[in-house]
Amino acid sequence: MSDTLLIIEDDATFGSELARHFGGRGWEVELAQDLAAARRHVLDENAEPLVIVADMSLPDGNALDLLEEARGAKAPGEWILLTGYGSVPNSVRALRLGAYDFLEKPCPIARLELVVTGARRSALAQRRLRSQGAARSRRYTPESYIGSSAVTEKTRRMIAKLAAVPFSALVIGGETGTGKGLAARILHHGGPRADGPLIEVNCAALPRELLESELFGHEAGAFTGAKGRHRGYLEQAHEGTLFLDEIAEMDLELQTKLLTVLEDRRLRRLGGEKTIEVDVQIIAASNRSLDERVRDGSFRSDLFHRLSVFRLDLPPLRERLDDVEELVPALIDEFNARSGSRVRKVPAEAFEDMRAYDWPGNVRELRNVVERAVLLADDEVFPIEWMQLGQGGVGRTRRGPDIDGDRLIIPLDGSMALDEMDSYIIRTALERSGNNVTAAARALGTTRETLRYRVQKYGLLTGRSAESETDDRPADPVDAQPESPPDLPPSLDGRPI
């Protein structure tokens, strides 16, 4: 696209002089002598001039009115306004509408050329940002959620429907690696706030004090090391979307402050006195169940209900294995482009192995497998030997807890909560000891009182008679409760699992 300069000037002599001057400096110059002609250039013909130099007072109106129309229509271009008589209200209005500069006539041509050059740089930067935004919008569409299985089709339809709705808040659930970040980008770039910023924050990656400063911003001197003013993520996401990943890890006090901002739509920076209005769409994600976090008191119920205007749960890869044959070629193309590799063929055996695997890491794990295989491939064939599924072995992994001799295997892929692990360890020890609490406590390296408390807590041995003791002591009532519940070490025989 050429650099077009639109000159709006009712003085034909002055307008022609400007057109001749800038035309000699490489500009493609368009000249309009009234508001009607200028409106055709700016709004009707989609000419998209890079810079507009406009006399404010025109025979059929005020150029500020056209500037306001252009801003409302999101028409691109930087505006430089000229006036023979400056006034404070007009200056304020021009700057409020986003004019690049406001100059009084007569303006030396050298100064006008300097201002036009600066406006050109600014307009080109905006054009690049729009192009990048358009590219992201084309990249992040509901079709980006690849797959043709029934569960994927259902999820994709839900994403498309949500993207068309101007929601205020939404919660995305699902196991780690299921594509919550991708879904958030699709919802932003495919929604009504696509022209606004998308700010992504991983709440688990920042300590509490730093997260507070990054979210809400701070003024200079608010705390040690705060040397200048900082606009927080909520401010940066104004008129756009704030994606809060792993929100379940957010401190309770910060949850309270976030809820206040969402309710009042305004915030105050740390150390600041002024309240700042913010218009933000919130997308929150967590690989933990927020319902459970609310029940155990680690997540505020009022914030949970404020965020759960809509909910989107993404299925794990093991529930959409039919999509593997579509996902793998797409990932191969991506990593071929990045690395210069030329993998083209995927053996049927590779797909069979992938479909037989449970994918505890979901699509993120699949990406890692494909990246590794593409980078280490010697030719056009996808190398099966570098897939290394399940720690080097191919086949279906064992999901859930398992027993290997005197040791327990506990999954750390998020499929079991901490209490479930605790309960499973105790139940297994009781089964191995014939429901003898004393023997089970000895195997676990804990006291009978502690174990009895846990047995009652998890409802184990319900309806059973008290166990027989091997040391001739009277049987323990399993419903007795110690004064305090010490933590159990996760072991069967006193050794770490």
Domain locations in the chain as residue ranges = 4-132, 164-313, 321-386, 399-497
Q: How far, in Å, CA of 184 to CA of 80, rounded?
A: 38
Sign of CA dihedral 21, 22, 26, 29: negative
Q: How far, in Å, CA of 292 to CA of 313, rounded?
A: 15
Asked whether the predicted pLDDT for residue 285 surpasses 90, the reply is yes
Instruction: Over range 198-218, report the average pLDDT.
Output: 90
pLDDT band for position 40 (cuts 50, 70, 90): confident
Asked whether the predicted pLDDT for residue 378 surpasses 70, the reply is yes
pLDDT of residue 200: 95
Instruction: Over range 265-294, report the average pLDDT.
Output: 92
Q: How far is CA 105 from CA 35, 51, 354, in A?
A: 19, 18, 72
Assigned CATH for 321-386: 1.10.8.60
pLDDT band for position 133 (cuts 50, 70, 90): low
Q: Comparing 418 with 491, which gets the higher pLDDT?
A: 418
Asked whether the predicted pLDDT for residue 481 surpasses 80, the reply is no
Residue-wise pLDDT tens digits, 91-132: 788 878 888 888 888 888 889 999 999 999 998 888 887 777
Find out whether 81 and 59 touch, Cβ atoms under 8 Å: no
Residue-wise pLDDT tens digits, 148-203: 999 999 999 999 999 999 999 999 999 999 999 999 999 999 999 988 899 999 99
Asked whether the predicted pLDDT for residue 44 surpasses 90, the reply is no
Torsion angle, CA of 210/216/218/224, rounded to 10 degrees? Answer: -20
pLDDT of residue 105: 83
Find out whether 163 and 142 touch, Cβ atoms under 8 Å: yes
Secondary structure element (H or E) that encloses residue 267, with its range: strand 266-268
Assigned CATH for 4-132: 3.40.50.2300
Instruction: Over range 381-399, report the average pLDDT.
Output: 67
Report the 10 Å Cβ neighbour count for 346: 19
Instruction: Over range 346-362, report the average pLDDT.
Output: 92
pLDDT band for position 298 (cuts 50, 70, 90): very high
Residue-wise pLDDT tens digits, 304-353: 999 999 999 999 999 999 999 999 999 999 999 999 999 999 999 999 99
Q: Give the least confident one: 48-52, 248-252, 419-423.
A: 419-423
Fold agreement (164-313, 321-386):
no
pLDDT of residue 478: 42
Find out whether 170 and 311 touch, Cβ atoms under 8 Å: yes
Residue-wise pLDDT tens digits, 437-475: 898 888 888 898 888 888 888 788 755 544 444 443 444
Asked whether the predicted pLDDT for residue 71 surpasses 50, the reply is yes
The amino acid occupying position 170 is: L
Find out whether 450 and 486 touch, Cβ atoms under 8 Å: yes
Q: How far, in Å, CA of 171 to CA of 246, rounded?
A: 11
For the chain, what is the mean pLDDT? 84
pLDDT of residue 394: 39
* Start-to-end CA span in the chain (Å): 65
Q: How far is CA 33 from CA 56, 366, 421, in A?
A: 12, 62, 78
pLDDT of residue 477: 43
Q: Which residues of 300-312 are buried (b: 16+ CB within 10 A; e: fewer)?
A: beebbebbeebeb
pLDDT of residue 156: 95
Q: Give the least confident one: 9-13, 134-138, 200-204, 394-398.
A: 394-398
Q: Is the domain 164-313 a CATH 3.40.50.300 member?
A: yes
Q: Comparing 392 with 257, which gets the higher pLDDT?
A: 257
Q: Is 300 helix (H, G, I), strand (E, B) or coil?
A: coil
Neighbouring residues of 361: CB distance < 8 A, sequence distance ≥ 6: 176, 177, 368, 413
pLDDT of residue 397: 46
Q: Comparing 48 with 358, which gets the higher pLDDT?
A: 358
